[in-house]
A and B are shown apart, each in its own frame.
Chain A
Amino acid sequence: MRDTTTPDIGSLIKDETIHSSLYTDRDIFELECEKIFEGNWVYVAHESELPRNGDYLRRTMGTTPILVTKSAKGIHVVVNRCTHRGNLLCPAPRGRQKAFGCKYHGWVFGPDGELVDIPFPDGSENLDKSKLGLRAARVESYRGFIFASLNHDVDDLITYLGNARQALDRASDLSPVGEIQLSKTWVQHSFKANWKMISENEADGYHVNFVHDSFGKAITPEGKYDNVLKEDEEGIGSVSRYLGNGHTEIDYEVSYGAPMKWLGVKEDRYPEYTAAMKERYGEQEANTIMRKGPPHTFIFPNLFLAETCFVVIQPISVNESINWHTPLYLKGVPDKLNQRILRQGEPAMGPSAFLTADDAVIAERQWGALDGDPGWLDLSRGADREVQKDNGVLQSHYTDETSNRGFWNHYKSVFQ
């Protein structure tokens, strides 16, 4: 339990405006760590990253250090801090071992967090090992996407994912064996800005013309940014959606007129892949999947499926965040297809990217300006032209702020 004063978050979020202290107040950041990152589901890892018994990954949930481990009993998520004197239990970013011995005093924990051994046991006879296990999260996974919640009293993952579940399907179904695959290498792009600025950016179509103006001028506009960069408001077919539970997305499907256009290739470029997809899904469904392409969906609070990039947002402090990304590879496809996913994603994300380098600088300027001059911010764009779709999804024009309003509405509910 963190020691914080309790800001009145509800008073900072109105229907179409929010107060900037939500991005700059340190107490609010601490409260988010508790209520969001330790309060409900957080994405932690994908099963493809833990193929063997004993594999583990060092990750975070908010600012809480965790280990994601795999044993014969399944996947576990435990806090990566020795219960004795607080040493970071396992400093390596990944590895394979069946028990974790603290390098300070040798206490040993199993992959499920159980304290299995204390050296020099005669002197520790008064200690009840069963009460000194590592704090363990509730763990559930869907299509290999592993989520954890340090608060065990939450809805099941499927309920939590709600209308965002289709995004995990959309990514996984692009593989003829129904699974995505993540490699061990990640790029870490650090922003001196609040994590929520990045989350909101994910489904913000409004900024593309302006922040990515230079990108539009450097390339021949084609594909999904075509009408956007030409400032043709009516002609933009892609849409923005609020999916509920804080999840948001942009759907570029409309701009992809043919299968595999999302990858910038002709549909017959990978015949083995096409054949395998048709065999798994039948011709019509396979063509639909291959035309729609991967999702561009933000899953509250920290996962962003950015078409060819798999992105995880890590909050460090109120004004520092890291965007981690790795290619969204597919299992069971020809190497050349995955290589193309890599090539396509590389310039989109990361510190040197054609796109996110500029997003980062804008967010940093925004944070600095708000810290210096707090105030109310307007998020009213498009409030009069939202369309209610099935299951409570709100769809809007690509440039509208429906996704922002939805995000903040959910955020507010977390603190009530």
Chain B
Amino acid sequence: MSEIDEKEYRQVCNFIYLECQLADEARWEEWEELLAADMNYWVPINGQEADPNWDVSIINDNRSRLATRIRQLRTGTRHSQAPISVIRRMVSNIVIHEDDDGMVIAEGNFVAHEYQNQSTMMMNIWPGRVRYRLRRVNGSYEIVQKRVDLVMATGKLPTLAFII
């Protein structure tokens, strides 16, 4: 594990903020462009104890399944995102380092406020911790893994059809 310099810290944060904005605004095509071909998108239930091959997850998409998810959203007839939720999320407490394989690991806390305007017309609050595994590519990054540990993961969850 090694440190990264101030300049790269800023670059990675900017990348993360962009990713959050694209997800918030349902700009799925652009969001997809940030993903590596071997991307894993994981929203587990039982945190650090979770075994992804035994414990069921809320989301555990390989790149192919994630592509299906995006295609489904883009049809415009996925009722749970038609109309799309209005979302804004904040990410902070970001710590970044480089792991022994040369990947950039960025972790932080987040909270997303979602106006669920498909049915309940209620505000849903989604706090948690996010962890990105990023590969440096072409002066920027691609997301190899996005892992989201929701505060309420082990409790009852409303529909979560957007990109958390």
Interfacial residues, chain A to chain B (CB-CB below 8 A): 183-192, 211, 213-215, 217-219, 322, 325-327, 335, 338-339, 342-343, 345-347, 350-352, 354, 357-358, 360-362, 364-365, 368
Contacts and interface: CB of A to CB of B under 8 A. Distances in A.
Contact of B71 (A217, A343, A368): A217
B79 A188 contact: no
B77 A187 contact: no
Given A183-B56, A187-B58, A352-B43, A361 B159 contact: yes
Contact of A218 (B68, B156, B160, B161): B68
A278 to B, nearest CB: 27
Nearest to A362: B79
A188 B150 CA distance: 13
A397 B8 CA distance: 61
A342 B158 contact: no
14 contacts: A183-B54, A187-B56, A214-B77, A218-B69, A342-B54, A346-B56, A346-B59, A350-B56, A351-B158, A352-B43, A352-B161, A358-B78, A358-B161, A362-B79
B52 to A, nearest CB: 9
A126 B29 CA distance: 73
Interface of B: 43, 45-46, 50, 53-61, 65, 68-69, 71-73, 75-80, 118-120, 155-161
Contacts of A339: 53-54
Contact of A351 (B72, B73, B119, B157): B157
A189 B59 CA distance: 13
Contact of B80 (A217, A325, A361): A361
A211 B120 CA distance: 17
Which among A219, A354, A362 has the highest number of chain B CB atoms within 10 Å?
A354
B72 A217 contact: yes
Nearest to A322: B156
B80 A188 contact: no
Contact of A360 (B54, B55, B80): B80
B32 to A, nearest CB: 14
A198 to B, nearest CB: 13
A213 B159 CA distance: 18
B54 A357 contact: no
Contact of B72 (A183, A218, A322): A218
Contacts of B76: 214
A342 B54 CA distance: 7
Contacts of B157: 187-190, 351
A351 B79 contact: no
Contacts of A183: 54-56
B78 to A, nearest CB: 4
Contacts of A360: 80, 119, 159
A185 B55 contact: yes
Nearest to B164: A352
Given A339-B53, A361-B159, A365-B119, 14 more contacts: A185-B45, A185-B54, A185-B55, A187-B45, A187-B56, A211-B79, A218-B69, A218-B71, A218-B72, A342-B54, A342-B56, A347-B65, A358-B161, A368-B120
A339 B53 CA distance: 6
A213 B118 contact: no
Nearest to B71: A218
B115 to A, nearest CB: 14
Nearest to A93: B154
The interface centre, meaning the residue of B54, B55, B72 with most chain A CB atoms within 10 A of its CB, is B72
Given A190-B156, A192-B120, A325 B69 contact: no
A351 B56 contact: no
B119 to A, nearest CB: 4
Nearest to A324: B156
9 shortest interchain CB distances as A-B pairs: A364-B119, A218-B72, A185-B55, A190-B156, A214-B78, A357-B80, A218-B71, A351-B160, A214-B75
